[in-house]
Amino acid sequence: MIAIIGLGNPGEKFKNTRHNVGFMTVDFFAKKYNFPEFKLSKKYDLLISEKGEVTLIKPQTFMNNSGTTVKKIINTQNLTPNTLIVIHDDIDLPLGKLKIVKNRGSAGHKGVESVIKSIGKKELIRFRIGVQPKNGKVKNPEIFVIKNFTKGEDEIINETIKKTSNALDFFVENGLEKTMNQYNG
């Protein structure tokens, strides 16, 4: 089984914000590959959709507490670091850049930090999606990540979500090493 976890904040207010590209990617992947509708699991505090060997998860805690949900699901689903993928925004990457990494620290991302602390290891696969503005400067990251994409930015991010979805499918079929070679360019 492979668990693909999109990080984000629940609620309509945050739906199209930079912090929610993890949710947006998981939603796009689910639609593209005809996954069943997401169902709320109150026990695990998440939205979940399963098809075959792939489970899609959107934690319903806020971003900074994502680790509590991930820990619960790992403990019940027999997941290993090689079968757990976390998708999240990254203000250190240019807008639209996809970077796939494994065994890396959080680099200050509070959601990733929560996951690493909760599961007790950084050995997880991450699909980092760049949300950095064109000028590369972010004065207040906490405010910046909960803002919506601008009109020009949303076109770029939508293409990146499609690319990330393709990379996820490629990963399911071919594994991490081939996926990193194919998509980390």
Catalytic residue among 18, 19, 109, 128: 19
* Phi, psi torsion values for 104, nearest 5 degrees: -120, 155
Residue 43 φ then ψ, to 5°: -60, -40
Q: What is the pLDDT of residues 89-102, one digit of tens each?
A: 999 999 999 999 99
DSSP H or E run through 166:
helix 151-174
- Residue 63 within any structural domain of the chain: yes
Range of the domain at 102: 2-180
Whether the pLDDT of residue 17 is over 80: the answer is yes
CATH of the domain at 58: 3.40.50.1470
Lowest mean pLDDT among 9-13, 81-85, 167-171: 81-85
Give a yes or no: residue 59 inside a domain: yes
Can you tell me the distance from the alpha carbon of 31 to that of 66, in angstroms, rounded to the nearest whole number? 23
Number of domains making up the chain: 1
Residue 125 is assigned to a structural domain of this protein: yes
For 129-173, the pLDDT digits (tens) are 999 988 888 889 999 999 999 999 999 999 999 999 999 999 999
- Place 83 in a pLDDT band, splitting at 50, 70 and 90: confident
Residue 88 bears catalytic tag: no
Helix H or strand E encompassing 124: none
| Domain annotation covers residue 185 | no
Task: Report the distance separating Cα 151 and Cα 143, nearest Å.
Answer: 18
